[in-house]
A and B are shown apart, each in its own frame.
Chain A
Amino acid sequence: MLKIANLHAYYGSIEALKGIDIEIAPGVVTCLIGSNGAGKTTLLKAISGMIRRTGSIVFDERNELIGESPTRIARRSIVHVPEGRHIFPGLSVEENLEVGTIAWHGFFGRKPYETEKRSVFDLFPRLEERRGQLGWSLSGGEQQMLAIGRALMARPKLLMLDEPSMGLAPVIVSDLFRKIVEINKLGIPILLVEQNARLALEISDFAYVLDQGRVRIEGKAKDLRTDPRVQEAYLGRFAGKTQPN
């Protein structure tokens, strides 16, 4: 559903992605792993139009995203949940969710979004309990739920998650990853960026390993879990054993 070919991306004159080819299949979880600075976040930014890029990104086999603005790409229902959550601190949980609808709702529209809100609250009951609370006052885990919930309000056709586990306690992370699998079961394809490679490979169908702006390794997630190169570089020496992150 998303086909990326020879993608280059630039911060000013610095080339952060150096020719990337990636294909995201419909309905599955695809993960991007790689060490800090590999270019994972940059790749998501390149897809959502937040950075200058060249090459080709074809969505749904007909729409070329290169040259399109972030607003336009968001209207295609490609939703990027950024690293660090970026929820709106001065808006309540409910208002944060409402803002998530903008891509299909329109500035002056009056379309209802109760159904979307209901399903987000069903997925994250915690958010319903906190519906009136301001964004800044939530815990890290709740903020991540809100960031994902806000993205679901946008009726995503592709959901991109950047480091959802960052800074969260292990129990909260495993809860969160169960929710991510649940979301995927609803038929929403997910592009998951994680530094926590073990966790990401567990719930993914397909995986890419990024390094210095290039794809180094790619394949089925279950193959990569046992790939010696991946084990050595990204899973630590005790691969196979459960290890707290």
Chain B
Amino acid sequence: MQGLNILLQPNVFMQLTINGVAMGMIYALMAMGLILLIRAIGVMNFAQGELLMLGAFITWGLTYQVKLPFVLMIPAAMLCFAFVGVVFMFVAYWPLRTASYPTATVISTMGAAMVIREIATITWGSLPLVSAPLVKGVVRVGSLRLQYQYLLTIAIGAVLIFLVFVLFEKLYAGRIMQAAAQDKYAAELLGIPTVLTTAATYIIVVTLASVGGYMIAPVFLVNVTLGTLQLRAFAGVVTGGFGSVKGAIVGSLFIGLVESYSSTFTTTYKDAVVFLVLIVVLLFRPQGLFGERVADKA
């Protein structure tokens, strides 16, 4: 097969690996957010891709419309992400949290996705917008040419993931958030303000996805269709075993790599390849690559 021959050339292979890991990082940022929300409020968020898209638009707007310099753009963007997080929580989740149908909150995330798409289209139009890479150019390692943007994406993704782990595993505040996610009733009895911990979770989730959108903007164009990337994050979550943050990260990187390698065979059917691999994984390991079986947890 010609595709395989191309893939196995060391340079091509290295480059596709870097690209795959970079894309995997973007999916991982979304996938991590999915798991955090499932844990904290028990809801699968179908607007995760739209949050990424909104992050791309917001940072584009701050850079090219408001024309903020980079050092001001970053804090301004963070404030916007936090604002989006809080609004998203109070509109799409809070009023429905006591609804008698638990699915109500899931459906409302689908509604939120549509609303975000419409808001983006009305605000920024439906034509794709061009965003310059953070650092232009390529690094040469031997005969290898690696784009800075991809390397930067990997670095920033890794730093964010590290920060989230530090928050939840090492800091008191993170411990409190975990407790509130695990047992809301007990948390409230101890005096944990669960509104605040939930809001903090939403802010983190939106920030993760939005930074993903910011990093990916120069690779693709800024467009409402960026939202469809959430399918890859779902695939990452499922591959990783649904429920563990670590699994979701590794699963997302795996999906990124599969997608990247498959581009030497086909670009038209990339989506199909990703899902074919997902199905194969699930056939042989229904609990996901890294999941424990439910029985092990009980």
Known contacts being A88-B183, A90-B182, is A109 close to B172, with CB within 8 Å?
A: yes
A6 interfacial contact with B, CB 8 Å: no
How far is the CB of B297 from the nearest CB of chain A, in Å? 8
Min Cβ gap A64→B in Å is 18
Query: In the complex, what residues of B have CB within 8 A of residue A154's CB?
Result: 190-191
Q: Which of A70, A95, A96, A110 contacts B188 (CB 8 A)?
A: A70
A238 at the interface (CB under 8 A from B): no
**B83 on interface, CB distance cutoff 8 Å:** no
* Contact A99–B190 (Cβ < 8 Å): yes
The distance from the CB of A143 to the nearest CB of chain B, in whole angstroms, is 12
Residues of A close to B191: CB separation below 8 A = 70-71, 73-75, 102-103, 154
Contact of A88 among B182, B188, B193 (CB under 8 A): B182
> Does A98 make an interface contact (CB < 8 A)?
yes
When C-beta atoms are compared, the residue in chain B nearest to A103 turns out to be B191
A88-B182, A88-B183 given as contacts; is B189 within 8 A of A74 (CB)?
yes
Interface size class of A (residues with CB under 8 A): 20 to 34
Segment with Cβ contacts to B, from A79-87, A185-193, A197-205, A224-232? A79-87
B190 pairs with A102, CB closer than 8 A: yes
Q: Is B276 an interface residue (CB 8 A)?
A: no
The 8 A CB mask of B159-201 against A (1 = contact, 0 = none) is 0000000000000110110110011011111111100100000
Q: In the complex the two chains form, is B192's CB within 8 Å of A91's CB?
A: no
Considering the complex, give the chain A residue whose CB is closest to the CB of B184: A86
Cβ-defined partner of B189 (8 Å) among A70, A89, A110: A70
B residues near A75, Cβ cutoff 8 Å: 191
Nearest-CB residue, chain A, relative to B193? A71
A95 pairs with B185, CB closer than 8 A = no
Give the interface size bracket for B toward A.
Answer: 10 to 19
List chain B residues, Cβ under 8 A from A149: none
Q: Which residues of A from 47 to 76 have beta carbons under 8 Å from B? A: 48, 50, 70-71, 73-75
Question: How far, in whole Å, are A37 and B176 apart by their CA atoms in the complex?
Answer: 32
Tell me the complex Cα distance, A91–B178, Å: 8
Closest residue of chain A to B182 (Cβ to Cβ) is A88
* B189 close to A80 (CB less than 8 A): yes
The residue among A90, A105, A154 with the most chain B CB atoms within 10 A of its own CB is: A90
How far does the alpha carbon of A99 sit from the alpha carbon of B187 in the complex, in Å?
Answer: 9
Candidate in A87, A100, A107 with the most chain B CB atoms within 10 angstroms: A107
Contact residue among B176, B178, B185 (Cβ-Cβ distance under 8 Å from A102): B176
- The answer to whether A105 touches B172, judged by C-beta atoms less than 8 angstroms apart, is yes
Q: Which residues of A contact B193 (CB under 8 A)?
A: 71, 107
- Binary interface profile of A, 115-127, with partner B (CB < 8 Å = 1, else 0)? 0000000000000
**Distance A50 CA – B189 CA, assembled complex (angstroms):** 8
Contact across chains for B190 and A108 when beta carbons are under 8 A apart = no
**B172/A86 in contact, CB under 8 A:** no
* B189 close to A48 (CB less than 8 A): yes
Q: How far is the CB of A150 from chain B (nearest CB, A)?
A: 7
Nearest CB of B to A10, in Å = 15
Cβ–Cβ contact B178 & A103, under 8 A: no
Q: Which residue of A lies closest to B192 (CB)?
A: A102
Q: What is the CA–CA distance of A96 and B186 in the complex, to the nearest angstrom?
A: 11
Contact B179 A99 (CB under 8 A): yes
A88 touches B196 (CB 8 A): no
Q: Name the distance in Å between A230's Cβ and chain B's nearest Cβ.
A: 30
Inter-chain contacts of A109 with B (CB < 8 A): 172
> Can you list 22 contacts pairing A with B, beta carbon distance less than 8 Å?
A48-B189, A50-B185, A50-B188, A50-B189, A70-B191, A74-B190, A82-B186, A88-B178, A89-B183, A90-B182, A91-B175, A91-B178, A95-B175, A95-B178, A98-B175, A99-B190, A100-B190, A102-B191, A102-B192, A103-B191, A107-B173, A107-B196
Binding site for B on A (CB under 8 A): 48, 50, 70-71, 73-75, 79-80, 82, 86-91, 95-96, 98-100, 102-103, 105, 107-110, 150, 154
Extra pairs beyond A50-B185, A95-B175, A105-B172 (20, CB < 8 Å): A70-B189, A71-B188, A73-B191, A74-B189, A74-B191, A75-B191, A82-B185, A82-B189, A91-B182, A96-B179, A98-B172, A99-B176, A99-B179, A99-B192, A102-B176, A102-B191, A102-B192, A107-B173, A110-B172, A154-B191
